[in-house]
Every structure is written in structure tokens, then in C-alpha cells.
Amino acid sequence: MLKNKFFYGWVIVFAAICLVFLDGLLLYSFGVLLPSIQAKFEMSKAAVNSIFAIRCIVFAFSMILFGKLIDKHRPEKVIFLGGLITAIGLFFTAYSDTKLTLFLNYGVLTGLGDGAFYIPAVAIVQRWFNKRRDFAVGLVTAGVPISGLMINPLSAWILSVSTLETTLMSLAGITLICLLPAFLMKQDPGEMGLTPYGGPFPKSDDDESNNWETKEATKTSAFVILYVLLFLGMLSFLIVVTLQFDYAISNNLNLLASSIAPASIAAGSFCGRLVTGYLADSINRNKILFSVFLGQGLSVLILLNGNSLLHYSLFGFFFGFSYGGWIPIFPSLLKDFFGKKHVGQIFGVFGTGFSISAIIGPPLAGYLVDEFNTYNYGFYVCIVACIIAAMMALLIKKPIKG
């Protein structure tokens, strides 16, 4: 790789950011859409959150499917197919007139297509970077908070001047536009006669003894600990994301002002991913994970002890920074622990931890609000989950293949 020649890997990073942006679109927009969906279909908060849970159940299978496909087929075709399914799902959701069609269109179709964004994007970028891999992954995953910064206020504004149906169709259009960079994706540097950024990967990376089969990897204690950390971290995050907007409205903030915390979470998440992604080359990753999980849990105390825009902004930034801080660490640990040959499949299985947390977290939080008429219990769950995760992060050790 010549120093004076632009490295195509950065184009891959740009395309991957656009794709991960779409994953964030689906994640962040739901909290804004939730009150309108609840009103239109006359559903309880727990019932509406169960739609999100169903989407995440489908998403769990979709991540494994697209993780496997991305290891064997051209990424641009695989990703475009998933994105097209997502756009169709959002468009049909706008025309849903029954609870059944709502569950099918939003829960099943968008969940199925969503698996083509995050996992394939991160898996491919890791193949292009030997050095600064954590930083590159941090940049890519920053597509999620960038989406939050834009989609939350945009969705809230569209809702305020039009209808739920128009908002959903607008999100479908944005999905199609952001899907176009998928055609810039390339499987690996060798396809273009290049070497990874920072030079070729060590020859040991191609050694079969350093490339774990998916079934082997998932049976190790290291994988199990990382999986539980992902579950606990996402459980906390999803409860906050799905409840906070409604929580702010219940505390007499208007529609646009209520989007300040989700937007602040996105801003903090963007910074957290870049900072920890940059520091991961020089600081023990276990210590980073301990710090950010602890910070994520303790930041919720700010939300519970104030109701001003300043409180919402500070909470959102620190919560988002901590949450974003652990996101780029996991893909690199998985690659370092289990090799690169099956990284797409392994990361796809690992990503199902998000789906399990989504199946449990938001419906549980909605139930607690419906049953006890307070949001506090859901936020307490967030704090406890993150403290447990912080303690477990100190137990991570690289597995030895027998």
C-alpha cells in the first residue's frame, strides 16, 4: 500500500457508516413513533413494545443468516436485498390498518431486512484493517448515533406537521437512499489487489488452529461472558431508548423538547465510540469495558433526579458516551479470540444477544409502567444490569483452542 495513494478501505468505512445508519434509523425512530402507534391502534405500552420485541426476534435469525451469507457471497448484493426488504416493511407499515398487519409489516419485514446492515458492515470493515481496526469499527458503528442525531428530531418534526403514515413513508425513502453505498462494498482488499491497512494480517490468522468454528467459539467461557455483557448493556440501552421519550412527555415537555435526551444519547454515543476505539490499542480492553458499563448505569441517576432540559442533555450525553464506548470493543475481541475466517457467522450469533435483550427489556419496562404507573422501576433495572456487566467485564480472558 503506497503512502501517497488513497486507501480504498476508507471508502468501505464510508459505505459501512451509511448502512449502519439504517440500523440506527430503525432503532431510534421507534421511541418517537411509539406514542402515535399506541394511539392509532389503541394498544397498551407493553403491547406496542412487544412489536419491537417481535422485530428483534426476527432480527436475531436475520443476523445469523446475513452473517453467513456475507462470508460466502458478494456483500453488495446481500446487503441490497436486506435493505430493500426493510424499505418495503416500513412502507407497508404506513398502510397497516390492523394489529396483525402492523406486527407482520413492522415486526417481521423490517426485522428480517435489518440483519443486512450492522453485522455485514462491521465484518467487512475488519477485513480491511490490520492496524487501527478498533478505530475503524468505531467510525462505522458511529452510524447508529449519527442516525439518532438526525432521525429523532426529523421523525418528531414530521409527526408534528403531518401524520404517522407520512413519517413511516419518509423513513422508507431515507432507507432506499442510504442503501445505495452498498454497491461500494468489496469483500476484502485482495479483491482489488490491495493489502489491509497497516500491512498484511499475521500468517497465524490463516492458520486453521487460530480460526474457530462457530460452534466451537460459542462454547467458550469468553464468548459466553461477552454475550452476557452485550445482553445486559443492550437491555439497559433499549429500556431507556423506548421509555425516555414518553417519560419526558409525561413530565410535561413538548414533542420536540422531548427528543433532546435521545439526541444527546446519540451525540454521546458518537463520541464514546471514537474515543474508546482510539484508546483500545493502548489500554486494556477489560478496563475500558468496566469503566463504560459502570458509567452507563450511574448516568441513569441524573435522569431520575431532575426534569430540566439540562438534566436530560447531561444524562443523554453521559449515558450515550458510556454505551457507545463498549460497542467497538466487542467486534475486535471476537476477531482476536476466534480468527477472521468465520467472523461473519460468529458475530451474527453474538449479535442475537441484542435481540434477546429487546425481547425482554422494552416489554418488561412497558409492563412496569402500565402496572405501577411509574417509569422509575424500568430505570432501576438499567442501573442494576450495567453494574453487573461492569463486574463481569473484568473476567474476560482469551480462550485457548484445545
Position 256 scores a pLDDT of 62
Neighbour count for residue 174 (Cβ, 10 Å):
20
CB 102 within 8 A of CB 180: no
Task: Convert the pLDDT of each residue in 195-212 to its tens digit.
Answer: 888 787 766 555 556 788
Position 2 scores a pLDDT of 46
Q: What's the mean pLDDT when you consider all of the chain?
A: 86
Residue 293 grid coordinates: 458499563
Domains along the chain? 9-393 (1.20.1250.20)
CB 244 within 8 A of CB 303: yes
The 3-state DSSP class for residue 2 equals coil
Position 301 scores a pLDDT of 93
Which DSSP state fits 107? I
The 3-state DSSP class for residue 197 equals strand
Residue 125 grid coordinates: 470493515
Position 296 scores a pLDDT of 96
Please list the ranges in the chain whose pLDDT falls under 70. Answer: 1-4, 202-209, 252-259, 402
Exposed / middle / buried, residue 30 (Cβ in 10 Å: 0-12, 13-18, 19+): buried
Cα separation of 40 and 38, whole Å?
6
Cα separation of 366 and 35, whole Å?
12
Supply the pTM of this predicted model.
0.74
Cα separation of 66 and 79, whole Å?
8
Position 258 scores a pLDDT of 65
Residue 151 grid coordinates: 432521525
Closest to 268 measured CA to CA, from 136, 142, 362: 142
**Amino acid (one-letter) located at 118:** Y
Position 262 scores a pLDDT of 72
